[in-house]
Every structure is written in C-alpha cells, then in structure tokens.
C-alpha cells in the first residue's frame, strides 16, 4: 500500500513528532547527563520508528535551575550539552535521515542570569529597565496583586536594588519578559531567526499563552470549579489552580505577536510551530484563537490527554470539544511528555496491564485526526520511576513533596542496552537513577522481538503512514450504546472504521444499518472478531475496517 503524502510546506499536518529530553537521552562524555552528540548517536533509533520529526527540549545556555527552561543565552549551547558545532552535526544527520528538527523556544521568561535581566535590574534608568515586568509594592510593602507562581508562592519577587517587585510565573529565578515593550519582541524574534538561519524546521513554543500580562495588574478572581473541564493548569495540591487566570496570561495582545512570529517563519517556507497552551477550561478557545486563520501558530497541544482518565467518554468529549470550537485550526495530541506521569502508569491498573495499555494508546493516537507527539521511552512501554525525596532534582516536586512528587519520575534516562551499566545511557553516574523495571525494557531487549511494544510502535506508525485518511482526513464518531470508542476517518472516498474497547470487559458492537464493513484491516497486535454486522472485542482491544 502506498505511503500517504503531504506538500513540503505542510509536512507538519498529521506528522508524528518524537520528543527528546536531551539530558536523559544519551550521555557520551561520562558526566551522567545526556548531550547533543548522544542525540546524534541515537537518531537512527528515532528514524526507525517511522516518525517525521524530533522535538528537542532546551539545550541552550542555562544555570539549569529548571532543567534548561531558564535560558541565559538563546543563541548558544550549554556546555553540558556540547557546542554549536555539535548541534549543527546533529541537525545535518537528522536531515540526512529524513527527520525534521523542532527546538524548544522558552521566550515568555529568561533566567535571572540572562544579560538582559542583569542590566534591567541594575537601575530604573538603564536601557533595558522596562524589558521585564516590574511593579511598585503596595503601600504596606506587599506584592502588587494576588498573582501566583505555578511553582509555588506569589508570582512576585522583591528586588532591593530597584526597590520594586518583578513578575515570575515559575521560579523566582525565571523573570517574565515584558512583551508590551516592542524592543523585547524584536530581541526575541531575532533569537528565533538565529535558529531559522541555522536550518531548524520549527519551534515548540513553551507556555505560548504566557507572553503578555494585564497592563493594569488586576487581581485574578477565584476559580469557579467546572466539573466538565478536561484540562487543568496545576495539580490539586497547588493553590495556583484556585485562581481564574484572567489577567496573568492569555491576553489579547498575544495574537499580534503570534502573527509577527508566523510571518517570520513564512519567509523561510516549510517551517512549523506547535504551541503549548495551558489555560484551564479555556484551553480550546485559546487554541482556536491561536491556530485559526493560518496566520498564527500552525498547531497547538493542550493538557486534555495528560490526566489520569483513559475512557471512551473522555477521549470522545475532548475530540468533539476540539472539533466544535477549533474550526480551521490544528491540534497535536499526546498522552505523555516531560511534565507528566508516564501514561502507562496513569492508565494501567496493574503491572501486568502495562504492555497492553501501551499498545492500545499508540494505536488510538495513530487513528486520531491531528498530529501526534511521542515522548522518549514510551515506545518501550516505560513506566514512571519511583524516586525518593533525596533523589529529586525537579524544583516543582521538591516544593510540593510529598503530595506531589514532581516530574523527575518521567525524566529518568532512556534505556538502550539491558546488560550495560545504567542500561547504556552513561558510563558515569546518571543525574537520575535507572530503575530495574525500566532496564528490563531496554531497546535491545525489544528490538526485532515480535509482539514487543517497540515493534508494535513501528508497525502502528507504518500503518498510519499508509492510510491517506489518517493524515488529515475527516473524523466522525458513531453513536453506540456500548462503552466503546467508535469513529470513522475519511478522505478521497476511502472510509475507515475504528473501534476501541478501553474497558477491561469484552464488548460486542452491532454496527448501525448504514455502516457496512467491506474488509477488516489488521491493526498490529490486536485480534477482534467480525461476524456479519457484529464486532467482538476482548478487553483493551481494537478493530479497524474499510467501509463500503
């Protein structure tokens, strides 16, 4: 069967993107931290999966207070990851293998060690005095308003030199840039152009709705809980989620800046952006605003699939909500990334279920309309690592321990060779430990093994590539009584039916009279039965068929 095709400029539409967390991918110099040469060494593994692109989490110069999401130089590589020459070599090898390269742009804030902030905080009269969000205290010396930081505490830090507060949505060492200042926008865009000129294919925009703040610094109101919300800004233990964030993010001025950014990318052709949008119950409306009209972001992802629920009703609700709200935009679906518990640990009810859940999850992702993002190690079925408090490196987890354990459990090193020390990640001591249950799932233990999670990923992604309707075809749900997820994908006269049993009980689906299966298509790793107009699925099973 021929592989479906896209135009060169639209390569991102329906693309499969593989996220690389560089410090945990492959270490080549023995310091226990992954590096760019390690990424280059393992690109063949990524290419063998059949993905279209890689997304590299930050590798820029940084004090590493937030694992690189606190940038001190946007136009250089942090020495722990290598050099610009190492990046160029990685980029060239990725392109040789047919992989696009997307890099993380963290432009809502910088490190407090960035030269821009060092100058800005030096006085109230310097050339960059207005490059960050500075505000006077209230008469009683308290912060300007009630805004909270995601990583805990107020979103304001006192600076004794300027005798003012500065805003930070995350750590106090991550001051927010003032995008109301045109000079800041120009400076940020120049750093984006630096990487475009170097040949990158796109950008993942960290916290894409956080660039602007309310000029009047109005207090956020309390959040009125929405029981139907599918996306949340913070775990329940974090008071950040108790506010309705009307004024500290998602301001209307953001639209204009995103148009400027898109215009720059369009100068180069074939470039793409994927924005991270965390906006609670408003996330889909924000995605619609940011991706509609083809003049802003190419696509966005939300947090809808990054929670604990893995049911037919939840998946359908999320997708239908997106379809209803986002008319001409595009979404990127994902079950895991570097910020959440790995999805086999969230979704599986027992250790014995993990492999089946891993296979079902990628089969479902591959069938959805939209682009999809995979996180390193999920192709092995890696579970979340359990860590002791003294092993934590994530400031978020350290702040809210033990109610919230942070993000280190999904950031432990990639496992390559089962019998080597630290599963082949490093010949030094890794920055986070490699657990035994992960070592047993190493790449070389699954390579070429029929029925392994790794081989299932390869087969499933090959199946997706071969079906034109799965890249950007229409999607419509079937109304059924059973607790299953049933939908069609259609393009150019080809119509495919997918049925997913996400329950732990067998299910039988009697097809509606107007739905006639012409032939069953073998979905890798699953074996449902079709008898006349009845599809019988075992627990955690999948059916795919071509319709007349």
DSSP 15-57: -EEEEE-GGGT--SSSSSS--HHHHHHTHHHHHHHT-SEEEEP
Mean pLDDT of 120-127: 98
How is residue 79 annotated by DSSP? T
Do 393 and 408 touch, CB atoms closer than 8 A? yes
Mean pLDDT of 346-370: 97
CA distance 202 to 129: 31
Do 415 and 434 touch, CB atoms closer than 8 A? yes
Listed in sequence order, the residues at least 6 apart from 217 whose beta carbon sits closer than 8 Å to its beta carbon are 135, 144, 145, 247
**pLDDT category of residue 4 using cuts at 50, 70 and 90:** low
Residues 397 and 522 in one domain: no
Mean pLDDT of 192-211: 98
Output the six-digit token pair for 379.
């192709």
**What single string gives the DSSP state of each residue in 129-140?**
TTSB-EEPPPTT
Q: What is the CATH number of the domain that holds 419?
A: 3.20.20.80
List Cα–Cα distances, 461 to 52, 94, 117, 170, 367, in angstroms. Answer: 10, 19, 45, 36, 10
Residue 44 Cα to chain centre, angstroms: 22
Residues 397 and 517 in one domain: no
- Is residue 124 included in any domain, yes or no? no
Burial classification of residue 75, based on how many CB atoms lie within 10 Å of its CB (0-12 exposed, 13-18 middle, 19 or more buried): middle
- Is residue 128 included in any domain, yes or no? no
Give percent of the chain above pLDDT 90: 91
- CB crowding 405-442: b at 16 or more within 10 Å, else e: bbbbbbbbbbbbeeeeebbbbbeeebbbbbbeebbebb
Q: What is the CATH number of the domain that holds 507?
A: 2.60.40.1180
Residues 454 and 386 in one domain: yes
The mean pLDDT of the chain is: 95
Tens of pLDDT, residues 229-263: 777 788 889 999 999 999 999 999 999 999 999 99
Taking residue 492's Cβ as centre, other Cβ atoms within 10 Å add up to: 8
Q: For strand 16-20 and strand 371-375, is the pairing parallel, antiparallel, or unpaired?
A: parallel
List Cα–Cα distances, 344 to 35, 305, 360, 425, in angstroms. Answer: 27, 13, 10, 22
- Is residue 38 included in any domain, yes or no? yes
Question: 70, 86, 206, 304: which is the annotated catalytic residue?
Answer: 206
Mean pLDDT of 488-515: 94
Q: What is the C-alpha R_g of the chain?
A: 23
**pLDDT category of residue 57 using cuts at 50, 70 and 90:** very high
Instruction: Let me know if 267 is a catalytic residue.
Output: yes
Output the six-digit token pair for 548.
């007349």
Looking at the structure of the chain, the number of domains it has is 2
pLDDT at 475 over 60: yes
- Is residue 39 included in any domain, yes or no? yes
**pLDDT category of residue 455 using cuts at 50, 70 and 90:** very high
Domain range for 478: 474-547
Residues composing the chain? 548
Output the six-digit token pair for 343.
């999805």
Backbone angles phi, psi at 260, to 5 degrees: -65, -45
Residues 424 and 492 in one domain: no
Listed in sequence order, the residues at least 6 apart from 375 whose beta carbon sits closer than 8 Å to its beta carbon are 19, 21, 334, 336, 337, 338, 342, 410
- Is residue 312 included in any domain, yes or no? yes
Return the axis-axis angle of helices 453-466 and 354-367, rounded to nearest 10°: 10
CA nearest to 425, candidates 10, 142, 38, 104: 38
Residues 401 and 497 in one domain: no
Mean pLDDT of 351-376: 97
Residues 459 and 478 in one domain: no
Q: Which of 463, 493, 512 is the last residue of a domain?
A: 463
Residues 480 and 459 in one domain: no
Q: Which of 429, 463, 497 is the last residue of a domain?
A: 463
Tens of pLDDT, residues 409-437: 999 999 999 999 999 999 999 999 999 99
Residues 385 and 524 in one domain: no
Q: Give the pLDDT score at 41.
A: 98
List Cα–Cα distances, 406 to 33, 231, 387, 435, in angstroms. Answer: 19, 18, 10, 17
**What single string gives the DSSP state of each residue in 306-331?**
SSS---HHHHHHHHHHHHHH-SS--B
Do 358 and 320 touch, CB atoms closer than 8 A? no
Q: Give the pLDDT score at 235.
A: 86
Residues 449 and 481 in one domain: no
- Is residue 66 included in any domain, yes or no? yes
Question: 140, 197, 228, 267: which is the annotated catalytic residue?
Answer: 267
**pLDDT category of residue 548 using cuts at 50, 70 and 90:** confident
Mean pLDDT of 373-395: 98
pLDDT at 74 over 80: yes
Residues 542 and 435 in one domain: no
**pLDDT category of residue 6 using cuts at 50, 70 and 90:** low
- Is residue 177 included in any domain, yes or no? no
Listed in sequence order, the residues at least 6 apart from 497 whose beta carbon sits closer than 8 Å to its beta carbon are 478, 486, 487, 488, 515, 517, 543, 544, 545, 546, 547
**pLDDT category of residue 1 using cuts at 50, 70 and 90:** very low
Question: pTM for the complete prediction?
Answer: 0.97
Q: Give the pLDDT score at 226.
A: 80
List Cα–Cα distances, 390 to 397, 401, 402, 432, 433, in angstroms. Answer: 11, 11, 12, 11, 12
pLDDT at 7 over 50: yes
- Is residue 115 included in any domain, yes or no? no
Residues 211 and 356 in one domain: yes
**What single string gives the DSSP state of each residue in 382-436?**
PPPPP--GGG---HHHHHHTTT---SGGG-SPP---TTSGGGGS-SS--SSPPPH
Give percent of the chain above pLDDT 70: 99
CA nearest to 90, candidates 197, 16, 199: 199
Tens of pLDDT, residues 279-321: 988 998 999 999 999 999 999 988 899 999 999 999 999 999 9
pLDDT at 2 over 80: no
CA distance 297 to 84: 27
Q: Which of 424, 443, 463 is the last residue of a domain?
A: 463
Which comes out higher in pLDDT, residue 513 or 91? 91
Q: Give the pLDDT score at 272.
A: 98
Residues 425 and 488 in one domain: no
CA distance 279 to 290: 12
Do 399 and 152 touch, CB atoms closer than 8 A? yes
């Amino acid at each position: 069967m021929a592989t479906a095709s896209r135009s060169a400029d639209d390569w991102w539409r329906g693309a499969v993107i593989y996220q690389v967390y560089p410090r945990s991918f492959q270490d080549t110099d023995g310091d226990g931290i992954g590096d760019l040469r390690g990424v280059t060494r393992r690109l063949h593994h990524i290419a063998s999966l059949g993905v279209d692109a890689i997304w590299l989490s930050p590798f820029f110069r940084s004090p590493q207070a937030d694992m690189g999401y606190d940038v001190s130089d946007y136009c250089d590589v942090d020495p722990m990851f290598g050099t610009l020459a190492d990046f160029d070599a990685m980029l060239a090898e990725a392109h040789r293998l047919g992989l696009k390269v997307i890099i993380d742009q963290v432009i809502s804030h910088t490190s407090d060690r960035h030269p821009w902030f060092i100058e800005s905080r030096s006085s109230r009269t310097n050339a960059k005095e207005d490059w960050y969000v500075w505000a006077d205290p209230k008469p009683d010396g308290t912060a300007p308003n009630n805004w909270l930081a995601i990583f805990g505490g107020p979103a304001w830090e006192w600076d004794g030199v300027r005798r003012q507060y500065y805003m930070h949505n995350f750590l106090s060492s991550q001051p927010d840039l003032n995008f109301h200042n045109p000079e800041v926008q120009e400076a940020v865009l120049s750093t984006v152009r630096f990487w475009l000129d170097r040949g990158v294919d796109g950008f993942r925009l960290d916290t894409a709705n956080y660039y602007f703040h309310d000029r009047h610094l109005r207090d956020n109101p309390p959040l009125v809980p929405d029981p139907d919300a599918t996306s949340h800004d913070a775990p329940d233990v974090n008071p950040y989620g108790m506010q309705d964030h009307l004024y500290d993010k998602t301001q209307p001025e953001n639209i204009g800046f995103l148009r400027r950014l898109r215009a720059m990318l369009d100068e180069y052709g074939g470039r793409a952006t994927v924005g991270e949008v965390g906006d609670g119950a408003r996330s889909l409306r924000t995605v619609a605003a940011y991706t509609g009209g083809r003049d802003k972001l190419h696509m966005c992802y939300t947090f809808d699939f990054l929670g604990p629920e893995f049911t037919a009703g939840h998946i359908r609700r999320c997708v239908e909500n997106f379809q209803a709200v986002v008319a001409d935009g595009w979404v990127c679906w994902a079950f895991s990334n570097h910020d959440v518990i790995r999805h086999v640990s969230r979704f599986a009810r027992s250790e014995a279920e993990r492999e089946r859940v891993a296979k079902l999850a990628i089969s479902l992702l591959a069938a959805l309309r939209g682009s999809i993002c995979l996180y390193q190690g999920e192709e092995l079925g890696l579970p979340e690592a359990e860590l002791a408090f003294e092993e934590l490196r994530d400031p978020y987890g350290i702040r809210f321990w033990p109610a919230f354990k942070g993000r280190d459990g999904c950031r432990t090193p990639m496992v390559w060779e089962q019998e080597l020390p630290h599963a082949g990640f490093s010949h030094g001591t890794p920055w986070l430990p490699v657990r035994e249950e992960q070592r047993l799932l190493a790449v070389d233990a699954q390579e070429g093994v029929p029925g392994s999670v790794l081989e299932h990923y390869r087969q499933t992604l090959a199946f997706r590539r071969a079906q034109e309707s799965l890249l950007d075809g229409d999607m419509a749900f079937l109304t059924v009584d059973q607790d299953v997820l049933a939908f069609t994908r259609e393009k150019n006269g080809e119509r495919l039916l997918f049925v997913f049993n996400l329950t732990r009980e067998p299910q039988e689906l009697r097809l509606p009279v107007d739905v006639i299966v012409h032939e069953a298509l073998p979905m890798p790793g699953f074996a449902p039965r079709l008898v006349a107009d009845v599809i019988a699925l075992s627990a955690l099973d999948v059916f795919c068929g071509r319709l007349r």
